[in-house]
Structure formats: structure tokens, C-alpha cells
Structure 1
């Protein structure tokens, strides 16, 4: 019997036959996480994957429809970790997905270096502002701001976890692109695929998806852009296909 706490609800996970626990006051997944789960290259059968800053476990849950590889999700907020664990159990995926409650910076020391084939991360996007500016909701503040991990922490830890030739994929904001590229090179993750996501045609990009290979050769491919909404503010066909499986 699934126990829901507080204002939690059990939502359908879009195109997939999965359910996920969400809470408007704690955490609900975003389009960014869904795009990351569709963008990253994953092995179909064997392998070891790790998702950092997992939130309520949406990326591992979605990846379970694409790969049979074993997965670990890491989340520092105990409440979100608990939500993810209950969702994984509810969907009968505890044999494939294991959640860890902890700080991503400590994970290489706990699990070992160079052990993973794929690392994914939808990290906090924004530097930590002053106390007056920060979101009063602690869960939202930690998810959005670099309170417990910086972008450099994310890239460095990804490199430590990846085996040579392993892949790391991130979703972030275009304003941090130069930071991401320089940090990936600094920590031996060669950028290989980059995609810009636009809210509407004619608007500036507001999201980037980037994947790199540890100790890979320089050869960055810029993928066709993704445009989320049409002029009527409805999802474009490609986004509808990603979200709902519609052709």
C-alpha cells in the first residue's frame, strides 16, 4: 500500500506507464529533466548509470524505459530521496534503481572512482544569492541554487565517477555554457553533443543539453534545435512526442 505524505500526489509519468510521487510544496519535475532523460546516450542492456541531484527520481524512472542497466540516484534532500524511493518501489523498479541519500561530492569516495558508464545531472542552475533573495521554501532553494553543490562540483564528481570512455550528460542554462565547456575540458570530459532548447521560434534559447565523453577526442556536434511551443502556446510535435509518445 502506497503511503502519500502531506500534499503529495501520485502522477502519471507522461508517455510512460509509470507513476511518480510529486508535491507542489516540495518538488515536481520539470521539462528539463524529461529532455535530459531523452537526450542522454545509454546502453540498452548492461552497464552502470548514476543520476546526481535526482530530486524525486524522475530521470532514473524515465531511463528505466530505455535501458536495462543498473542505476543509482543520488539526492541530498531526505524528503525528496524518500519520495523517489517510494516511487521506485511503487513501480516495481527497486531491483534496477537504487536511491542514495547523500552529498554528490562524497559519492566517489563511497562508490569508487571510474565505476560508471553514464552520469546524468540536472543540477541547481543559479549561484547562491543573499539570504534576502533566496527562496523561503528550503526544498525549492536547494534544488535551484548552488547551496550544496556548484557546477564545478558536478563536473568534477562526474569525471571521478566515469570510466574512461564513459559519458556525462547535463541540462543547464545557456548563460553557463562557457563555464560548462571549460569545466568539462578541465576535468577530462570532452564535449561531444550540444542541443539548444528554445521556448518559441524567434526567442532566445533558455535551456541547453550537453553530453561529453571522458578522455574523448575533440569533435563537438551541434544538434538541431528543439522549440518547445508553437505560436498558439501549444507543444510542438517533437516535444509532444517526447512528453506523451505522440507521433
Structure 2
């Protein structure tokens, strides 16, 4: 794609380590480090040969970054038409039409397109804020839906993931640490057993600002592993060597 093929307000952002480019429009929605880290954190089943689904895909960043480290099919599910259309153009841009497809749909109505119990891996970067929290009313619809639990909340997201997954399939999500109790409750109620947790810190001397979670459908209870933390920035506001490697290093391995 050449620059003149981008539409008004759009830009190309990329992940060099995965050799993936994403079409974005900052006036609608743009992915950030949380999307990259979720795709990196997720561990494919069966060497990535099975079906993976990105719920609430936005411009497709998580699913496309993840697709670069698996060999199976990846489906990107997105409610907002403008974002789904951008995601589809990014699929074409990255020459992944044979393995990655975009479904413009409410994730709660996806089961005619994706058979229940057919998915090996579900990924999601859901809205972080519950609707009873104070919101900035000047945000446009794209940001409202992406940031606040208007179209989907944690219990309903967990239910969709459970219905899509095979037994022992994996569900991955990134969220805010202050919602961890809600996350654990929603997953446990829907037979999704948490197995790995990794906290992300903006800087080493600050509280965690992200949490990455892996859960297994119908997994045995107990055995939760807390992984070493990811520190995003140095005291000089530069990426740490760990994050530099994730962003710019060698392609992620299975």
C-alpha cells in the first residue's frame, strides 16, 4: 500500500518484529501497547494450527499480530463497521487473506458465523471501564464503545468465550489490574480456569497499569502462575530492553 491509498485521517502503524502493518485513524480508535503485549502473551495451542478468534478486534491489531506467529485461521470480530472495514484492508495489506477474515458483528451474535465449541484460542482487549464509572461525555461513539462496557461487559464476554471454545481451549485478555476481582469472578462463573497472570508496569517504581490473563475452558481449578512482570519504560521514558525486543526484535516464536 502506498501513502496515497490511505483515506483522510488514516495512518499506517506497524510492529516490526512481526512485520505487520495496521491501518488506523486516531480520530476513531488506535491500538496501543496493550494490544501488542496481549498478542505476545498468548500461547498458541497445537502449534497454532487451530482456529483463533479476536473478539472486539477494533482495527485488527491483536489478531493480525497473533496471526504472524500461528499457521491456522484467525477471525476478527468487530461491532463497529468503520473499524471492521479498516481491519479488512489491513488483512489485505499484509497479504493474509488466506488465513485471516473479518466478521462485522456483535460478538454475542457470532454463533451463526463461528460454530460453538470450534475455537482453540480466543483473544480480547475489552472495554476497561464499567458503565457506572464517570465518563467523558465528549468522547465520540468509537471511543465510548471501545473504552466503556456499553456493548459488552466482563460476564457476557466470558460467556461468549466459553461458548466459542473447545474444552481445554484458551482465553486470553488484557485489562486493568483494578478490575482483577471482576475478571476472576466472571471467568470462574463460566468455567474458565485462570492459569497464568502477568502484570505490566509503566515504570519499575509505579503500580501495575495492565494485567494479562490466560484461562482454560473446563480447566482444573488451582495452579495459577504469576509470571515475572513486564516493565514498559525506563526512568528516561525509553522502552526497556524487554519491550524493545518485543517490538523490534526477532519474530515471536511458537
Do the structures match in fold with TM over 0.5? Answer: yes
Q: Which of these residues, 198, 202, 210, is aligned with residue 205 of structure 2?
A: 202
Q: Structure 1, unaligned stretches of length 5 or more?
A: none
Measured at CA, do residues 88 and 222 of structure 1 come closer, stay the same or move farther in structure 2, by a change above 3 Å? same
Alignment deviations for residues 23-48 of structure 1 (CA, whole Å, 9 cap, x no partner): 11012111000000000111334101
The separation in 2 between residues aligned to 1:162 and 1:138, in whole angstroms, is 30
SS at match of 2:37: helix
Measured at CA, do residues 47 and 126 of structure 1 come closer, stay the same or move farther in structure 2, by a change above 3 Å? same
**CA RMSD, 1 decimal:** 1.8
Q: When the two structures are superposed, what TM-score results if normalisation uses the length of structure 1? A: 0.94
The separation in 2 between residues aligned to 1:117 and 1:37, in whole angstroms, is 15
Pairs within 5 Å for 1:165-244? 165-218=168-221, 219-244=223-248
Number of corresponding residues? 247
Alignment deviations for residues 31-68 of structure 1 (CA, whole Å, 9 cap, x no partner): 00000000011133410100001010001111122101
Q: Which of these residues, 109, 120, 137, is aligned with residue 106 of structure 1?
A: 109
Deviates more, 1:124-133 or 1:82-91: 124-133
Q: Which of these residues, 36, 39, 54, is aligned with residue 37 of structure 1?
A: 39
Alignment deviations for residues 100-157 of structure 1 (CA, whole Å, 9 cap, x no partner): 0010111135422111000000001011258973343211111111111111111110
Pairs within 5 Å for 1:73-92? 73-92=76-95
Pairs within 5 Å for 1:45-60? 45-60=48-63
Q: Say if 2:64 is the partner of 1:64.
A: no
The separation in 2 between residues aligned to 1:18 and 1:194, in whole angstroms, is 26
* 1:231 positional shift: 1.0
* 1:76 positional shift: 0.4
Q: Say if 2:13 is the partner of 1:6.
A: no
The separation in 2 between residues aligned to 1:132 and 1:70, in whole angstroms, is 37
Q: Structure 2, unaligned stretches of length 5 or more?
A: none
Q: When the two structures are superposed, what TM-score results if normalisation uses the length of structure 2? A: 0.92
Q: Which has the higher contact order (CA 8 A, sep 6+)?
A: 2
The separation in 1 between residues aligned to 2:185 and 2:135, in whole angstroms, is 31
Measured at CA, do residues 159 and 131 of structure 1 come closer, stay the same or move farther in structure 2, by a change above 3 Å? same
Measured at CA, do residues 131 and 6 of structure 1 come closer, stay the same or move farther in structure 2, by a change above 3 Å? farther
The separation in 1 between residues aligned to 2:48 and 2:30, in whole angstroms, is 29
* 1:9 positional shift: 1.4
- Runs (4 or more) in structure 1 with deviation over 6 Å come to none
